[in-house]
Amino acid sequence: SNAVKEMVIAAMFLASRDIISGVEWVKANARDPEIAALTEKEKKRFAGTEIAGKKLGIIGLGAIGVRVANAAKNLGMEVFGYDPYLSIDAAWNLSRDVHHVLSLDEIYSKCDIITIHVPAIESTRGMLDATAISKMKKGTILLNFSRDLLVDEHAVLSGINSGKIAKYVTDFPNTVVSGHDHCLVIPHLGASTEESEDNCAVMAVLEVRNYLENGNIHNSVNYPDCDLGICQNPRLAIYHKNITNMISQFTNVIGKDGHNIVELSNQSRGEIAYTMMDVEKPFSAQLVDQLSQIEGVFRVRVVKNEGGR
């Protein structure tokens, strides 16, 4: 997440200050004996704006979004964040100076720079479309270092033509925006650092271990984050549909079997939900079978069946 954060910060500088055009001009005039004098004459062509004091809107305050928010705040920006599913861990790590807004429209209407950091799921696919862009301030800088499917890039080009978007920076090359004068297209370098590759490998091992030993889920593609801490009591994990009355059915079966629930966590993502429960004493295979037979349950996993009182 740090590697992507650094790329987002770099993208804000590149979009605000015409650094790339300036470097290209120097390359083109590298052999001109008058380059020093020409520089003083031509540099005004590449003048830009500072990001300090600008309003940054962040859509999605996960691991990357929080890092971007904190870094931008330290650079003197006024930061607005939108995330209706803000996790406790993210909230703890987020600077208290970040404005937590309740609607995307507030991000669109207030912010000079907007960056998106959400997963590509059915509800977010193409979320930055013509309607969203029409609500943005004139001259907005738009960044996408999350997923290519989140942004309708034909709408981006229309936004550039209308003046709504000054610059679009993306980490996902394609034939729609690549080569456009107002688009900075980077060849998917967001996490391409030596440190990031090492950190990703370590993180993957730790997350798989945490899942196997404790049932906790972090950074899953199709399941929500869910964490019940270190497993110290008998623990069940239930994978099920995100429909009404599931929790009450689980607790009813467990209660009838003579178990008291010590702790419970239920999280959902779209149509999928995940529930973990710690109980006071070891449970029977019959209890697992009863839970598995509840309509809407995909799987019941025994994380641990020892300990407790």
Q: What CATH number does the domain containing 232 carry?
A: 3.30.70.260
Residues 142 and 285 occupy one common structural domain: no
Determine, yes or no, domain membership for 191.
Answer: no
Determine, yes or no, domain membership for 126.
Answer: yes
Determine, yes or no, domain membership for 232.
Answer: yes
Residues 106 and 19 occupy one common structural domain: yes
Residues 220 and 264 occupy one common structural domain: yes
Residue 165, Cα to own-chain centre: how many angstroms? 22
Q: What is the pLDDT along the chain (309 residues), one digit of tens a residue?
A: 889 999 999 999 999 999 999 999 999 999 999 999 999 999 999 999 999 999 999 999 998 999 999 999 999 999 999 999 888 888 999 999 999 999 999 999 999 999 999 988 888 999 999 999 999 999 999 999 999 999 999 999 999 999 999 999 999 999 999 999 999 999 998 888 888 878 888 889 999 999 999 999 998 888 999 999 999 999 999 999 999 999 999 999 999 999 999 999 999 988 999 999 999 999 999 999 999 999 999 999 999 998 755
Return the pLDDT at 120. 87
Determine, yes or no, domain membership for 120.
Answer: yes
Determine, yes or no, domain membership for 151.
Answer: yes
* Total of domains in the chain: 2
Domain that holds residue 233: 215-304
Query: What are the angstrom distances between the C-alpha of 129 and each of 70, 151, 194, 278?
Result: 27, 6, 35, 44
Determine, yes or no, domain membership for 309.
Answer: no
CA distance 32 to 51: 33
CA distance 82 to 107: 7
Determine, yes or no, domain membership for 276.
Answer: yes
Residues 151 and 67 occupy one common structural domain: yes
Determine, yes or no, domain membership for 200.
Answer: no
Return the pLDDT at 131. 98
Return the pLDDT at 190. 86
Domain harbouring 81, CATH code = 3.40.50.720
Strands 235-241 and 297-304: antiparallel
